[in-house]
Amino acid sequence: MRYITAIIFTAFIFCITNCKAQYNNSSRVTSTQNGLLNGASVFTIEFWVRTTENNGSNIYWQRPFLFGNETNGDNSGDFGITINYGYIGMFEGISTLNTDQQFLSNSIRVNDNLWHHIAAVNNGQTINLYVDGNITGSLIAGRQLITTNTPLTFGAASLDHSFNGNTQGNINFISDSYFGEARISSGIRYGARFTPSQSFNNDQYTLALFHLDQNNNQSYNQNNNNPNYNNQNPNYNNQILNPNVPVTFDASEPINNNAAQAATLYISDSTVLYGKLLLGKKDWSLSNDTYIRFFEGNSKKVKYYKPEEIKGFQMGDSYYEPKQLGNGPVNVPYKKTMVKRLTPPGSKMAMYEYNTHTVTKTSTGYSEYKNMVAYFVQLPNTTDGKVYQFSDNKFTPKFETKVSAMVQDKPALADKIKNKDKEFFYSFVTQDTHQLEVWWNIINEYNKP
């Protein structure tokens, strides 16, 4: 059994009166039809749950289930999100390590009778488990789910076999849980930390969507959750039948890990709006499908803004702008992203900060998570919105030649760079801290009146 220490966090709690549909010993909350996600190696499963389940087991596949199925045999294509005496966990039989893999948190408990958002994201190589938007654990995956004989069930496990002591038939390991919104998708909805949306929408990547907030047991949208609709849903075919081509989705991730934050939004037409803001897309990345969600004033009605519609936004003392990131070790070549401006407004040469969340996998399946800060420079007299990391080949090698040519309108500064003044020059192998100091010196001198 492998354990990964969970990240400690402040839970984002979603409370509802008139409790949601409950799984009990006589009726299930809901299950998919057989075959949903069959053959998938890239997917997202997410749901809201409130539970007081206190039971557990030393046998990982016999713990109370929040979601999943259980098939006979080792590494046999199954997947489960479970609780063990209140602690969240998961197991899977789709690992390239050729044996079942299991994770059990030793610090994150969800049986506190409060609402929690649970998500499992399989990116084709690892399955990441999230609780309230925070990565809690990770397992090595790489193979495909098998669901031909066992549907995916919320609140229990679907089984394709019997075993000694099984008195519940093909539905077993029931958890004492209430379920709210639930969604199964054919791709990667989350990467780094995010703030969960309280309700889920149906889109072209949604395979099953459940609104379990009525007195009846289930209510769900059937546009995409029936295999008979596969021909009408090319993204299902692309991602499930060809699972090595992952899709990245819009998520609901703000600049920090809280709910919508007080912000000032600057629109491209020079309109200025005051209210609260949520930023879509993991890592604050922007694309044609991304949006800024803004609650103007004290309104609870959200308005959506495309990246091309905004100049930027202010949150506290920080100002963010949409920029195209150049190449560098963060591996985001010309990806449009919200970055924090570090130089004063109107600076001819500007510095920006980008925060990202990286995952390091080891051969044993253990994953380490860390935040990384990268810095980017916007060159003078440019209007294309591109910013470049210090290691970009636009600067190195031959820093003294390339950069001095960029500041020719400041002859004294250009000479310092060309002459390799140690305060205004670095080589290709210079440490990051010195590179940052050099660029601050260049930017500050260039921006002098």
In DSSP notation, 104-118 reads EEEEEE--SSS-EEE
Q: Are 309 and 267 in contact (CB under 8 A)?
A: yes
Q: What is the pLDDT of residue 247?
A: 29
Decide if pLDDT at 154 tops 60. yes
Residue 274 pLDDT exceeds 70: yes
Identify the residue with better confidence: 16 or 145: 145
Please give the pLDDT value at position 258.
39
Element (H, E) at 400: helix 399-406
Q: Exposed, middle or buried, 401 (CB in 10 Å: 0-12/13-18/19+)?
A: exposed
Question: What is the reported pLDDT for 330?
Answer: 42
Whether residue 32 is predicted with pLDDT greater than 50 in this model: the reply is yes
- 71 pLDDT band (50/70/90 cuts)? confident
Residue 115 in this model has a pLDDT that exceeds 60? yes
User: What is the per-residue pLDDT for 282?
Assistant: 40
Q: What would the two tokens of residue 17 be? A: 């009166």
280: DSSP letter: B
Measure Cα distances from 231 to 152, 227, 234, 247, 301 in Å.
Answer: 22, 9, 6, 18, 36
Q: Which tokens is 268 given?
A: 């491209």
Predicted confidence band of residue 219 (pLDDT cuts 50, 70, 90): very low
Residue 109 vs residue 22, higher pLDDT? 109
Please give the domain boundaries of the chain with CATH numbers for all domains: 30-241 (2.60.120.200), 355-449 (no CATH)
pLDDT given for residue 415 in this prediction = 96
Q: What is the structure's pLDDT at 356?
A: 63
For residue 437, the model assigns a pLDDT of 92
Residue 406 tokens, joined: 């960029």
SS3 282: helix
d(CA 359, CA 130): 14
- What is the spatial distance between Cα 209 and Cα 222, in angstroms, rounded to a whole number? 8
Q: Is the pLDDT of residue 171 over 60?
A: yes
Are the CB atoms for 365 and 139 separated by under 8 Å?
A: yes
Is the distance from CB of 23 to CB of 216 less than 8 angstroms?
no
Is the predicted pLDDT of residue 54 greater than 70, yes or no?
yes
When the pLDDT of each residue in the chain is averaged and rounded to a whole number, the result is: 73
Angle between helices 411-418 and 399-406 (to 10 degrees): 170
Rounded percentage of the chain residues whose pLDDT exceeds 70: 69
The pLDDT confidence band at residue 332, using thresholds 50, 70 and 90, is very low
For residue 227, what is the DSSP state? G
Q: Of 237, 175, 186, nearest to 208 (Cα)?
A: 186
418 to 395, 399, 402, 414, 442: CA distances (angstroms)? 13, 8, 9, 6, 12
Report which of residues 244 and 296 the model is more confident about: 296
If you average pLDDT over residues 331-355, what whole number do you get?
79
Q: What is the pLDDT of residue 269?
A: 82
CB-based burial, 60-77: b 16+ in 10 Å, e otherwise = bbbbbbbbbbbbeeebeb
pLDDT of residue 279: 61
In the predicted structure, residue 409 carries a pLDDT above the cut 90: yes
| Residue 433's pLDDT band (cuts 50, 70, 90) | confident
**pLDDT at position 113 over 70:** yes
Edge-to-edge strand order for the sheet containing 126-131? 134-140, 126-131, 116-123, 42-51, 177-185, 206-211, 220-221
Integer Cα distance of 99 and 177 in angstroms: 29
Among 151-160, 209-218, 420-429, which range has the highest average pLDDT?
420-429
The more confidently predicted of residues 338 and 404 is: 404
pLDDT of amino acid 342: 92
